[in-house]
Amino acid sequence: MAGDLRGEFLLDPDVVFLNHGSFGACPRPVFAVYQDWQLRLERQPVAFLDPLRGYAAWMRQAREALAAEVGADPADLVGVTNATQGLNIVARSLPLAPGDEILTTDHEYAALDKTWAAAARRTGARIVRAAVRLPLDSEAAFFEALAAAITPRTRVLFLSQITSPTALLFPVARIVAEARARGIWTVIDGAHAPGHIPLDLDALGADFYAGNCHKWMMAPKGAAFLHVRRPLQRMIDPLVISHGWTETMHSGDEPGQFGNTPFIDSLEMQGTRDPSAFLAVPAALAFRRAHRWDEVAARCRRMLDALEARVCAMTGHAPFAAPGFRAPQMAALQVPDCDIAQLQRELLARFAVEVPCFLWNGRRIVRVSVQGYNTQADLDRLVEGLEALLPAAAAPALGR
Ligand SMILES: Cc1ncc(COP(=O)(O)O)c(C=O)c1O
């Protein structure tokens, strides 16, 4: 089955692609729908981008399909280019003051650490980084690590749902509820979550949630969303002020100018743009349904579980998470001391394996993603590469 699925993707057949996590990969039929939207835009740009002649209605349809998938009301989410953009909108919009604290963890995505550092610099707020210890094996320990760092000055809780460097599945629900009960704004980075784990955003109840559709949902690149709880939507200021913004949108319950709420209109109507990636989200969802992606994902997870056990036996390092606390299709595998950038280069040059290798908090990590187009042979190739390239320190465990 995986062999069949490989042909559904545009990925270079000469590369063993184990880095779905960074930018995703879009199936051919979904990409064709994306290109079709682009052609329609180019054929008649005036008609296409006129909100009254199609654009607003098409965007609404895409929002509705996406909202049903992530457990949200379509009026509470809006398409953005990527999770980074969605989270920057939030960080810019929150009225922070000197001495306020932004509580986060030491597992966040580097670009978002910068986003909050810039917000802190602009407002005088302070970043407080709670350490989440490895291995992650209990919801209570996770909750305690964050709850213990809450102070009367904590105004924001910012957490990934699935972490980038460590591929952990943070059990965020309890701490989100606790923070909200204490009047703290909860901001969740769901870059890796849509299409990877089941989502029910309404049940989660985070104030602000940004997710990517171009990673695990397999929409074209540039498809993402920002979800904001209804009472907070009037706080949101777009990064780009354009036709959809009005001077009074933050104060009243006025309707938007283009048939949606001001929250949606102000973020959707942003000058000349190509919305095709977002418009192709329903096609990505249809592709997943047609290929019974739940079953595909379960197969991927089983292959990854076995790979993790194999590499841990090779290196002598423990997994970063107990079962249930790791991203189902992504694992961060610690490897022995080595030139980690060189390892990544050589895996590609000598074994044609594309996989990210990096240093995180003093640990050397190979982060493996397994998606429907991967086969057991792909994972065997990675193991072969690691066996050949890892330093002698790993040799005893390798039986060499
Ligand atoms: C946890 C996390 N947040 C945010 C991002 C940024 O995603 P994007 O580049 O689509 O904005 C990534 C990208 O890998 C990520 O891993």
Mean pLDDT over residues 85-95, rounded? 98
Q: What is the pLDDT of residue 2?
A: 55
Structure tokens at 233: 């939507």
Mean pLDDT over residues 382-388, rounded? 98
Q: What is the pLDDT of residue 393?
A: 44
Largest CA distance in the chain: 71
Q: Full-prediction pTM beyond 0.75?
A: yes
**Which residue ranges make up each domain of the chain?**
2-26+292-390, 29-287
Q: What is the pLDDT of residue 395?
A: 44
Q: How far does the chain reach from its first CA to its final CA, in angstroms?
A: 35
Residues 170-184: pLDDT tens digits?
Answer: 999 999 999 999 999
- Residue in 89, 104, 109 to alter for ligand 1 test, most ligand atoms within 8 A of Cβ: 109
- Residue in 22, 82, 330 to alter for ligand 1 test, most ligand atoms within 8 A of Cβ: 82
Ligand 1, atom nearest to 160 Cα: 1
3-class secondary structure for the chain?
Answer: CHHHHHCCECCCCCCEECCHHHHCCCEHHHHHHHHHHHHHHHHCHHHHHCHHHCHHHHHHHHHHHHHHHHCCCHHHEEEECCHHHHHHHHHHHCCCCCCCEEEEECCCCHHHHHHHHHHHHHHCCEEEEECCCCCECCHHHHHHHHHCCCCCCEEEEEEECECCCCCEECCCHHHHHHHHHCCCEEEEEECCCCCCCCCCHHHHCCCEEEEECCCCCCCCCCCEEEEECHHHHHHCCCCCCCCCCCCCCCCCCCCCCCCCCHHHHHHHCCCCCCCHHHHCHHHHHHHHHHCCHHHHHHHHHHHHHHHHHHHHHHHCCCCCECCCCECCCEEEEEECCCCHHHHHHHHHHHHCEECCEEEECCEEEEEEECCCCCCHHHHHHHHHHHHHHCCHHHHHHHCC
Cβ atoms of 62 and 301 closer than 8 Å: no
pLDDT reading at 53 higher than 90: no
Ligand 1, atom nearest to 83 Cα: 11
Fold annotation for 29-287: Aspartate Aminotransferase; domain 2 (3.40.640)
Q: Which CATH architecture has domain 2-26+292-390?
A: Alpha-Beta Complex (3.90)
- Residue in 105, 189, 358, 360 to alter for ligand 1 test, most ligand atoms within 8 A of Cβ: 189
Q: Which of 78, 66, 131, 79 is nearest to 104 (CA)?
A: 131
Ligand 1, atom nearest to 215 Cα: 10
Q: What is the residue with the minimal CA distance to atom 16 of ligand 1? A: 164
Beta carbon of 212 within 6 Å of any ligand 1 atom: yes
Least confident of 40-54, 288-302, 333-347: 40-54
pLDDT reading at 99 higher than 70: yes
Residues 293-314: pLDDT tens digits?
Answer: 999 999 999 999 999 999 999 9
pLDDT reading at 1 higher than 70: no
Cβ atoms of 174 and 146 closer than 8 Å: no
